[in-house]
Amino acid sequence: MKYELFFRYRVSMMSDDRVIALCEQNGIEGIGIYTVLLAELRQHEGYRCAFASLPALARRWNVSPEKLQKIVCDFRLFRLYAEDENGRSFSSIYLDEEMNTEPDAPVRNRISTGTDRRESAATGTAVAGATTAGGVKVTVKRAANGRFTATRCKKKNILKEKEEEEEIIRAAPEPPSVPITEPPRQPSPQRWETYVESAFGEQSWLEVQAMHSGMGFRFMELLPHIRTFFKQHIVTYGKEQTLFSIADAKSYFSNFIRRGSATRQALDTVLNRLETTERRADAYRFEQRDPLTGARSYCGEHIPDEAPPRPSENAVWSSESGKWTE
């Protein structure tokens, strides 16, 4: 049985000053981008997403990369993490609060957001505290032997602690703005080609693209040539670093094959030229052609330039009638 991922979307979130500021500057589009970012983070391990993924997400959602990064960096709605072996990343303060309800939920590697941390010098025990959405304070202790224990207690003054948490968030230093032109994290070599091949291996998706492109049966007949030209296009325009999943490859190809687009016009030109060449080569399959002079012949007999293609292997050219005879 397949389980769907979900998270709680509290109505009170819309009264948050940071969300209000987001709406004032970006309108309802800003709320929409924030919501889909939450949904995207929910699908990632640890609810964290790499900055290098922003260009691909922006293209998938049809928004500018600059606006997407501005929403991530400028409204204190997301935690920003320092660069590691996977590059810089970010997570949602709201989503972390909603999902961080288990006693053993991770509380390490966080930028200061109101989580209580202290170290016991006498026992060498690390103590961390987190508060769930239901007002339950979870205290996680790490003993000297490395084991974790957790206890829960009902908060007596929820409002006061929430105000303290918001004050700490406000006091946190503003994260540095990272230009969107920063070189993205490099995917493993040829990983993008694996995503393309996986997409082209799905028959049902290909049938949808045949209808979407308006090519119908011609799409399936010329599929090997279409796939080759699509890969050449990706390499030519340096799009390898924007494809991080099969979904990215599918989305990019759908735009690539869309009727009226510049890429579709270029593809049609290549396919038409290819079909013309194949038809011409097939029409003259019963003849030989000199590679240097281009002169036509069959069985050592010269064929005039104005003669139509030899119709069969038994046809003989008649100079008197100017026709092929069997």
Percent of the chain with pLDDT over 70: 70
Looking at the structure, tell me whether residues 88 and 120 fall in a common domain. Answer: no
Looking at the structure of the chain, the number of domains it has is 3
Which pLDDT does position 124 carry in this prediction?
44
pLDDT above 50 (res 105): no
Looking at the structure, tell me whether residues 218 and 272 fall in a common domain. Answer: yes
64 CB contacts (<8 Å, ≥6 apart)? 58
Of 119, 150, 171, the domain-final residue = 171
Residue 288 in any domain: the answer is no
Distance CA 326, CA 315 (A): 5
Looking at the structure, tell me whether residues 87 and 143 fall in a common domain. Answer: no
pLDDT above 90 (res 62): yes
- The answer to whether 210 touches 200, Cβ cutoff 8 Å, is no
Residue 314 in any domain: the answer is no
Looking at the structure, tell me whether residues 82 and 105 fall in a common domain. Answer: no
| Across 263-269, average pLDDT | 92
**Whole domain around residue 275: which residue ranges?**
203-282
Which pLDDT does position 159 carry in this prediction?
56
Letter string b/e over residues 52-73, b meaning 16 or more CB atoms within 10 A of that residue's CB: bbbbbbbbbeebeeeebbbbbb
pLDDT above 90 (res 286): no
H-assigned helices in the chain = 17-42, 54-61, 65-74, 93-99, 158-171, 191-200, 203-213, 217-221, 223-236, 246-257, 262-283
DSSP at 322:
T
Helix (H) or strand (E) holding 126: strand 125-131
285 or 177, greater pLDDT: 285
| Across 289-295, average pLDDT | 85
pLDDT above 70 (res 310): yes
pLDDT above 60 (res 82): yes
Distance CA 253, CA 142 (A): 50
Residues across the chain: 326
Bridge-based pairing state of the strands 288-289 and 148-154 = unpaired
| Across 312-325, average pLDDT | 87
Q: What's the start-to-end Cα distance of the chain, in Å?
A: 68
Looking at the structure, tell me whether residues 70 and 112 fall in a common domain. Answer: no
Looking at the structure, tell me whether residues 271 and 208 fall in a common domain. Answer: yes
159 or 128, greater pLDDT: 159
Which range, 160-164, 199-203, 281-285, 310-314, is most confident?
199-203
Looking at the structure, tell me whether residues 90 and 16 fall in a common domain. Answer: yes
Lowest mean pLDDT among 125-139, 155-169, 251-265: 125-139
212 or 167, greater pLDDT: 212
Of 75, 96, 117, the domain-final residue = 96
Instruction: For the chain, give the mean pLDDT.
Output: 77
| pLDDT tier, 1 (very low <50, low <70, confident <90, very high otherwise) | very low
Residue 220 in any domain: the answer is yes
pLDDT above 90 (res 209): yes
Residue 316 in any domain: the answer is no
| pLDDT tier, 305 (very low <50, low <70, confident <90, very high otherwise) | confident
Residue 193 in any domain: the answer is no
Looking at the structure, tell me whether residues 236 and 251 fall in a common domain. Answer: yes
Residue 156 in any domain: the answer is yes
| Across 3-16, average pLDDT | 80
Of 71, 96, 121, the domain-final residue = 96
Residue 304 in any domain: the answer is no
277 or 94, greater pLDDT: 94
